[in-house]
A and B are shown apart, each in its own frame.
Chain A
Amino acid sequence: MIRRNWLPLAVLAALALAPVAGFASSYETTLMARIMILAMAAVSLSFLVGGAGLASLGHAAAVGVGAYAVVVLDAQGVTEAAIVLPVAIVAAALFSLLTGAIAIRTSGVHFIMITLAFGQMAFFTASSLSAYGGDDGYTLYSRTEVAGARLLENRLAFHYIVLGALALTWAVCAMLLASRFGRVLRAARENAQRVEAIGLAPYPFRLTAYVIAGAIAGVAGVLLANATEFVSPAILSWQRSGELLFMVILGGIGRLWGAMLGAVVFVLLETWLAEITPHWRMIFGPLLVIAVLTMRNGLSGLVHRRHG
């Protein structure tokens, strides 16, 4: 277990030690929070893509639903985590259930396009919610409270809560993939015909996976809203979905922790390039193309190969 997963464990350990090792400035913790939250969303997407074979191009929408749950409740004066979190999870799961029920009836490229379209639907809906800022977004003046305490305002506490959420996401997704449920998913990804021939219909398994991944993305959305204290429709734009998918591919499909690695590299690269030039996307875009054309198994594939 530890030998096989030394790299992701090392990443988690580094994130755990970073604040005590002197990386505790607002800039540094903000950057790390962004990495960890996106990693969480990416791991849940990797569970879908690598585990269930569902390449969703609308995963950011579920993140956005979670973030907007925070906004909507905040506008009603509700900031208690005990309410916010369940509402966000249920909302994101419900969104995934409704869209997934239709999307999963299709496969391959249809699935990619339909998840993309549903993601856009969420985006435009968020843009038209003028009560919550519409296009301009909504500023949260206080973070979500935990049992009435302003725990998340504390930089360190927030860091470790996000880290815990990420570790938990990884553990839960890994557990699911190893379970009976996950075994059916993995088998159906490779050979749905075989799974049907032994008496199992893949659809309910895939839909369940889709809903679970959506719920996790919803939690990531709550954390993201709290990290940035600002939510706009951009959070669920299809470009965000594309970026999440890129983290998964960059890290390597088929290894959950690859997505974590992908998120780290993605955010650091993006941050670094953005400091060099405002037109960093002109470098980033071609890098993406090159990465796709040259790396077939992602970063975790490279690591895996070297360590046999």
Chain B
Amino acid sequence: MAEPLLRLTGLRKHYGGLAVTDGVSLDVRPGEIHAVIGPNGAGKTTLIHEITGVVLPDSGRIDFAGRDITRLSLPRRARAGLARSFQITSIVAGFSALENVALAAQARDGSSFRFFRPAASERALNDAAMAALGEVGLGDRAAVPAGALSHGEKRALELAIALATQPRLLLLDEPLAGAGPEETERLVALLTRLKARYTILLVEHDMQAVFALADRISVLVYGRVIATGSVAEIRGNAEVRAAYLGEDDA
């Protein structure tokens, strides 16, 4: 079996007396979509913060692409190839869709300490940005101010931004949150297309989407991974069903 791209080992984070992640271990293999699900308060958000570097775990380690990134800063992790989308869409609203993605391409393409040439006239950046926009189906919306895009388009734009950094791993934090049924359908189709080319760690509430997309699923409850397995295994797992009892199984 291939060496995992991302490996979490015993991530532990306490706030006061409360263990929010209580020794989380899981790995993401190259090429797979690994979904993390769990009821509210399971520690998903904190887990994402630990992986992306917003908070440092009290103990445990994070290996990414064969390298210990547990203590790396946020931007360094991104440069190492860890791209993310946010639960609440995070784009530069005042920029056009194109400039949002071109900025990401620019971050990927060497130094941003260049002072003379207008960035908007850099063909290489614009081409890379257009390619990423095309990939998420926003090719014809490039000139629109990002703030004026629809909710679903903003989510897609965020994906394009992530893709433009040519990541090794996409970390998607509830990409379907707040999307209507039609938008959800479109985004799931988009993620299915991306699946062929990217390794994805997906945190998502929408079970239907998770079951449709994921290769493997880890279930997080009260800060612990109670089960990891294929879609079929997780669906059949008694402990998982128990954890979700009383939860609205959307």
Taking CB atoms, residues of chain A closer than 8 Å to B79 are 199
A271 to chain B, nearest CB (A): 36
Contact (Cβ within 8 A) A198 B92: no
In contact, A199 and B113 (Cβ under 8 angstroms) = no
Q: A197-B83, A199-B78 are in contact. Are A178 and B107 (CB under 8 A)?
A: no
Q: Is A184 interfacial (CB 8 A cutoff)?
A: yes
Stretch at the interface among A36-44, A131-139, A185-193, A300-308: A185-193
Q: Given A191-B90, A194-B91, A199 and B115 touching (CB < 8 A)?
A: no
- Of B74, B90, B116, which one neighbours A179 at CB under 8 angstroms? B116
Knowing A181-B115, A183-B103, A201-B73 are in contact, say whether A194-B108 is a contact too (CB < 8 A).
no
> What is the minimal beta-carbon distance from A170 to any residue of chain B, in angstroms?
15
Residues of B within 8 Å of A195, CB to CB, are: 103
- A180 interfacial contact with B, CB 8 Å: yes
Residue of A nearest to B118 (CB): A178
Which of B52, B92, B102, B112 is within 8 Å of A200, CB to CB?
Answer: B112
Check B90 against A178 for contact (C-beta < 8 Å). Answer: no
Task: Name the distance in Å between B48's Cβ and chain A's nearest Cβ.
Answer: 12
Query: Which residues of A are found within 8 Å of B76, using beta-carbon distances?
Result: 199
User: Is residue B180 contacting chain A, with contact meaning CB distance below 8 A?
Assistant: no
For the complex formed, measure the closest distance between the CB of A261 and the CB atoms of chain B, giving whole angstroms.
Answer: 22
B134-174 vs A, CB cutoff 8 Å, 1 = contact: the mask equals 00000000000000000000000000010011000000000
Taking CB atoms, residues of chain B closer than 8 Å to A178 are 118-120
State which of B27-35, B60-68, B93-101, B204-212 sits at the interface with chain A.
B93-101
Beyond A190-B94, A196-B74, whether A183 also contacts B119 by CB under 8 A is yes
- The answer to the question of A284 belonging to the interface, with a C-beta cut-off of 8 Å to chain B, is no
| CA A194 to CA B95, docked complex, whole Å | 12
Tell me the minimal C-beta distance from A212 to chain B in angstroms: 9
Q: A179-B119, A182-B119 are in contact. Are A196 and B92 (CB under 8 A)?
A: no
Docked-complex contact B90 and A193, CB < 8 angstroms? yes
Given the known inter-chain contacts A180-B106, A198-B165, A199-B108, please indicate yes or no for A191 contacting B92, CB distance below 8 A.
yes
Instruction: State whether the Cβ of B104 lies closer than 8 Å to any Cβ in chain A.
Output: yes
Question: Would you call A124 an interface residue if the criterion is a C-beta within 8 Å of the partner chain's C-beta atoms?
Answer: no
Interface centre among A176, A190, A194 (most CB of B within 10 A): A194
B77 (CB) vs chain A CBs: closest residue: A199
- Contact check, A181 vs B83: say whether CB atoms are below 8 A apart: no
B99 contacts which chain A residues (CB < 8 A)?
183
Q: Cβ of A199 and Cβ of B95 under 8 Å apart? A: no
A205 to chain B, nearest CB (A): 7
Distance from B76 Cβ to chain A, minimum over Cβ atoms (Å):
8
**Complex Cα spacing A182 to B114, Å:** 9
* Residue A208 lies at the interface, judged by CB distance under 8 Å to chain B: yes
Residue contact A179 to B78, C-beta cutoff 8 Å: no
Kindly supply a per-residue 1/0 record for chain B positions 105-132, scoring 1 wherever the CB is within 8 Å of any chain A CB and 0 otherwise. 0111001111111111010000000000
B112 contacts across to A, CB distance below 8 A = 180-181, 183-184, 200, 205
CA distance A182 to B99 in the complex (A): 12
- Interface SS of chain A: helix
Q: Does B229 contact A (CB under 8 A)?
A: no
A187–B103 CB distance below 8 A? yes
- CB pair B161–A198 under 8 Å, yes or no, is yes
Determine whether the beta carbon of A198 is less than 8 Å from that of B116: no
Query: When chains A and B are docked, how far (Å) is the Cα of A181 from the Cα of B113?
Result: 5
Residues of A near B222 (CB, < 8 A) are none
- B92 contacts which of A179, A181, A187, A205 (Cβ < 8 Å)? A187
Please report the C-alpha to C-alpha distance between residue A196 and residue B77 in the assembled complex, in whole angstroms.
Answer: 9
Closest chain-A Cβ to B218's Cβ sits at a distance in Å of: 23
Name the residue on A nearest B161 (C-beta).
A198
Out of B74, B91, B102, B122, which one reaches A191, CB within 8 Å? Answer: B91
B39-79 contacts to A, CB under 8 A, are: 52, 73-76, 78-79
**A180, B119: Cβ atoms closer than 8 Å:** yes
Assess whether A147 is interfacial by the CB under 8 Å rule. Answer: no
Answer whether residue B224 sits at the interface, using C-beta atoms and an 8 A cutoff: no
B198 at the interface (CB under 8 A from A): no
Q: At the interface, yes or no: A175 with Cβ under 8 Å from chain B?
A: yes
Give the Cβ gap from A55 to chain B, nearest Cβ, in Å.
Answer: 17
Report B-chain residues with C-beta under 8 Å of the C-beta of A175.
115-116, 118
A residues 215-265 near B (Cβ < 8 Å) are: none
Q: For the complex formed, measure the closest distance between the CB of A253 and the CB atoms of chain B, giving whole angstroms.
A: 12
- Residues of B near A181 (CB, < 8 A) are 112-115
Q: With A and B bound together, what is the CA distance between A195 and B92 in angstroms? A: 9
Residues on A with beta carbons closer than 8 Å to the beta carbon of B90: 191, 193-194, 197
* A residues adjacent to B (C-beta < 8 A): 175-176, 178-184, 186-187, 190-191, 193-201, 204-205, 208
Residues of B within 8 A of A (CB): 52, 73-76, 78-79, 83-84, 86, 90-95, 99, 102-104, 106-108, 111-120, 122, 161, 164-165
Nearest 8 CB-CB pairings of A with B: A199-B78, A199-B79, A178-B118, A180-B114, A198-B107, A201-B75, A198-B104, A180-B119
